[in-house]
């Protein structure tokens, strides 16, 4: 009886542990799929709004607003998602913006604007230490004090200075006005007594606190940093709403605040989709952000509202950061490591709505087309004895998830003559290039994920079978020793 109880208890423990692991694996996979789908949804939305049908067209069209938040954050997010953003029109427009900074007094420029443009230039593969003869990096980070205090815009301007410097591990000269230690101290000096950070007032702001965590994360070995980060994370955890989202200073949950928290967690190496500290009523931070996603792929500022530009590009950044974390890459603002190319997938996302619309129109005419083609083929077969008509079907899957559309092709094969193909409609589908490096990399990653899952399944299966046997053997041995005594 005692043996049976031990075995049953052991089996129950194994089942619970295995279920937890399998649930975690499944949740992680589902989260990555949801995040990737949302990233591509934003890209599709932006491409549609700009009338772009390819990545090059998207970049060209973004150049009309290069140097502003409306475009720069897309360069940054797309580049870190794995898109080659080298685009002459965009680079030219960004450099023109830099020229405008230097055409007047740098003290009058918002340093955060300079920092954003610098990140956009990095995203486009350009140098930021020599932009038309100007050292943009120095003037918006370690030498900003020559023109105006680096913290003139509060925590944000110092935080983004650190994020920019760390984005490619830039070195700071010995004679710089401000070094990294100085910048870390500037941020810590603005920490509130109750924890967290704000641009003004004594109540911590969710967005500013999250941005401070992103900047401080690499410096936790310095005095006071780990404590400040831990307090900020605790604060953010306590402020999370039951649906997983976060409130802004207005008192309402919004996409932007939720997005910044995701970036903070990713910077800290915390999984925003599964960490228990950031799950409320079963809803993770990722779940919270996706609640602001609209059918057209954009994001709203508040729930129930229309698409909002700021909410959309900040959500894109957060989703890209989350995707990078789930695929094993570094934090969002990191240009030091190569990113697997996602250009093919982005082109698919760009064309998603176009193909879907074309598929819908073809659904209406498919039956008539099939009938006409079949009738035409039959008539020609009756008139020409040497012609042997054959039919082949081409299937187009609608990207919007609708049913398959079948097109009938009539192929007339004549002896010793080239094959002729007659078809009133040529289906337009997005084909994956199986030999492309990015697709191959994607498939390798997926195979690796599947292999890891399989290994875990086998391990738990072996434990499930063997552990009860070991318990029985051990229990019997104890019984034998007891009987001997």
Average pLDDT on 13-25 reads: 44
Average pLDDT on 142-148 reads: 97
Domain that holds residue 364: 355-422
Indicate whether 145 and 264 sit together in one domain: yes
pLDDT tens-digit profile of 439-478?
Answer: 444 445 545 555 555 555 566 555 666 666 666 656 666 6
Q: What is the pLDDT of residue 113?
A: 98
Residue 88: CATH number of its domain: 1.50.10.20
Indicate whether 233 and 158 sit together in one domain: yes
pLDDT grade for 329, boundaries at 50, 70 and 90? confident
Q: Compare 351 and 174 and report the one with higher pLDDT.
A: 174
Q: Which residues contact 425 (CB under 8 A, 6 or more apart)?
A: 362, 365, 369, 407
pLDDT grade for 350, boundaries at 50, 70 and 90? confident
Indicate whether 262 and 188 sit together in one domain: yes
Distance (Å, whole) CA 274 – CA 390: 54
Indicate whether 365 and 311 sit together in one domain: no
* Percent of the chain whose predicted confidence (pLDDT) is above 90: 60
Answer whether residue 18 is part of any domain. Answer: no
Indicate whether 223 and 314 sit together in one domain: yes
Indicate whether 281 and 135 sit together in one domain: yes
3-class DSSP assignment, residue 394: strand
Answer whether residue 452 is part of any domain. Answer: no
**Phi (first) and psi of residue 321, to 5 degrees:** -60, -40
Indicate whether 190 and 244 sit together in one domain: yes
Is the pLDDT at 354 greater than 90, yes or no?
Answer: no
Answer whether residue 429 is part of any domain. Answer: no
For residues 133 and 139, the answer to whether their CB atoms sit within 8 Å is no
Indicate whether 166 and 44 sit together in one domain: yes
Indicate whether 334 and 369 sit together in one domain: no
Indicate whether 190 and 336 sit together in one domain: yes
Helix boundaries (H) for 201-254:
206-216, 225-239
Is the pLDDT at 327 greater than 60, yes or no?
Answer: yes
Number of domains in the chain: 2
Answer whether residue 5 is part of any domain. Answer: no
Indicate whether 253 and 373 sit together in one domain: no
Answer whether residue 44 is part of any domain. Answer: yes
Q: Which of residues 319, 349, 379 is at a domain's end?
A: 349
* Long-range interactions of 416-424: CB distance < 8 A, separation 24+: 422/373, 422/376, 422/377, 423/373, 424/369, 424/372, 424/373
Q: Which of residues 349, 367, 386 is at a domain's end?
A: 349
Answer whether residue 479 is part of any domain. Answer: no
Q: What is the pLDDT of residue 461?
A: 57
Indicate whether 389 and 343 sit together in one domain: no
Answer whether residue 436 is part of any domain. Answer: no
Is the pLDDT at 246 greater than 80, yes or no?
Answer: yes
For residues 294 and 309, the answer to whether their CB atoms sit within 8 Å is no
Answer whether residue 145 is part of any domain. Answer: yes
Q: Compare 250 and 80 and report the one with higher pLDDT.
A: 80
Q: Which of residues 295, 318, 349 is at a domain's end?
A: 349
């Amino acid at each position: 009886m005692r043996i049976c109880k031990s075995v049953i208890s052991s089996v129950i423990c194994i089942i619970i542990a295995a279920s937890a692991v399998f649930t975690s694996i499944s949740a992680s996979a589902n989260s990555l799929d949801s995040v990737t789908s949302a990233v591509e949804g934003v890209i599709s939305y932006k491409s549609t709004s700009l009338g772009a049908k390819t990545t090059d067209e998207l970049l060209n069209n973004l150049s009309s607003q290069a140097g502003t938040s409306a475009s720069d954050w897309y360069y940054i997010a797309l580049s870190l998602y794995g898109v080659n953003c080298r685009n002459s029109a965009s680079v030219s427009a960004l450099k023109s913006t830099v020229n405008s900074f230097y055409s007047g007094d740098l003290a009058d420029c918002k340093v955060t604007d300079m920092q954003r443009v610098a990140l956009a230039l990095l995203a486009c593969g350009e140098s930021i230490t020599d932009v038309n003869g100007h050292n943009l990096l120095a003037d918006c980070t370690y030498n900003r004090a020559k023109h105006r205090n680096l913290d003139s815009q509060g925590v944000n301007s110092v935080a983004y200075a650190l994020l920019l410097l760390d984005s490619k591990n830039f070195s700071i000269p010995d004679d710089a006005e401000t070094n990294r230690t100085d910048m870390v101290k500037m941020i810590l000096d603005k920490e509130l007594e109750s924890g967290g950070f704000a641009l003004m007032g004594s109540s911590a702001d969710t967005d500013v606190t999250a941005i401070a965590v992103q900047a401080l994360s690499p410096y936790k070995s310095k005095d006071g940093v780990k404590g400040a980060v831990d307090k900020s994370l605790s604060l953010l955890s306590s402020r999370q709403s039951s649906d997983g989202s976060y409130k802004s200073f207005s008192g309402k949950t919004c996409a932007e605040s939720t997005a910044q928290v995701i970036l903070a967690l990713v910077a800290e190496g915390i999984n925003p989709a599964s960490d228990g500290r950031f799950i409320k009523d079963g809803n993770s931070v990722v779940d919270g952000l996706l609640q602001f996603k609209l059918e057209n792929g954009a994001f709203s500022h508040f729930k129930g509202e229309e698409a909002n530009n700021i909410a959309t590009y900040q959500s894109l950044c957060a989703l890209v950061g989350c995707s990078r974390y789930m695929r094993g890459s570094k934090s969002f603002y990191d240009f030091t490591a190569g990113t697997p190319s996602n250009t093919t997938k982005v082109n698919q996302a760009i064309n998603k709505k176009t193909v879907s619309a074309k598929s819908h129109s073809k659904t209406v005419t498919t039956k008539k087309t099939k009938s006409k083609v079949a009738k035409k083929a039959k008539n020609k077969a009756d008139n020409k004895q040497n012609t042997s008509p054959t039919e082949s079907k081409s299937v187009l899957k609608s990207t919007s998830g609708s049913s398959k559309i079948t097109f009938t092709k009539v192929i007339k094969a004549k002896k010793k003559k080239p094959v002729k193909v007659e078809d009133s409609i040529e289906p337009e589908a997005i084909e994956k290039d199986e030999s492309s490096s990015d697709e191959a990399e994607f498939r390798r990653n997926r195979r690796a994920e599947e292999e890891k899952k399989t290994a875990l399944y086998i391990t738990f299966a072996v434990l499930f079978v063997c552990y009860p046997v070991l318990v029985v053997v051990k229990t019997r041995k104890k019984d034998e020793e007891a009987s001997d005594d």
